[in-house]
């Protein structure tokens, strides 16, 4: 997956979560509006931090490897590891935001 596509998905996901929180605060009776502000802010912070982390670069050059094939292999492995870590961290933070949103919903 390209960095550009990952960044688009991050923006879209965080925007959707923030929009859902705004709609819930506006349209659902009994929602704790003050508590619903925190997930909106956290979604924006998550987006900013995640986008910054996606903008990484492989710190080696082809000259550091015996062949171009080895360089490409190492580069792919590096990005795979980095993006897996970002995905994991993003998912965990997103789950926390959803839990905050659920906590602000009215109790039945």
pTM: 0.85
Kindly state the DSSP code that residue 62 receives in the 8-state scheme. Answer: G
Domain membership of residue 23 as a residue range: 3-104
Confidence bin at 2 (pLDDT 50/70/90): confident
Confidence bin at 107 (pLDDT 50/70/90): confident
Average pLDDT, the chain: 94
Q: Residue 74 and residue 70: Cα distance in Å, rounded?
A: 6
Considering its fold, how many domains does the chain have in total? 1
Q: Residue 80 and residue 43: Cα distance in Å, rounded?
A: 24
User: What crossing angle do the helices spanning 3-27 and 33-54 adopt, rounded to 10°?
Assistant: 180
Q: Residue 54 and residue 7: Cα distance in Å, rounded?
A: 7
Percent of all residues in the chain with a pLDDT value above 90, rounded to a whole number: 90
Shortest CA distance to 45 belongs to which of 82, 10, 88? 10
Which residue's entry shows tokens 């015996």? 66
Q: Residue 76 and residue 94: Cα distance in Å, rounded?
A: 26
Asked if the model's pLDDT at residue 17 lies above 90, the reply is yes
């Amino acid at each position: 997956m390209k960095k550009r596509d990952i960044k688009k998905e991050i923006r879209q996901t965080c925007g959707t979560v923030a929009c859902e929180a705004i709609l819930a605060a506006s349209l659902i009776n009994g929602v704790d509006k003050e508590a619903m502000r925190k997930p909106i802010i956290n979604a924006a912070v998550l987006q900013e931090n995640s986008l910054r982390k996606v903008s990484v670069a492989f710190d080696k050059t082809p000259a550091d490897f015996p062949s171009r094939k080895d360089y490409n292999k190492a580069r792919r492995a590096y990005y795979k590891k980095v993006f897996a870590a970002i995905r994991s961290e993003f998912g965990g933070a997103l789950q926390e935001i959803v839990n905050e949103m659920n906590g602000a919903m009215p109790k039945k």
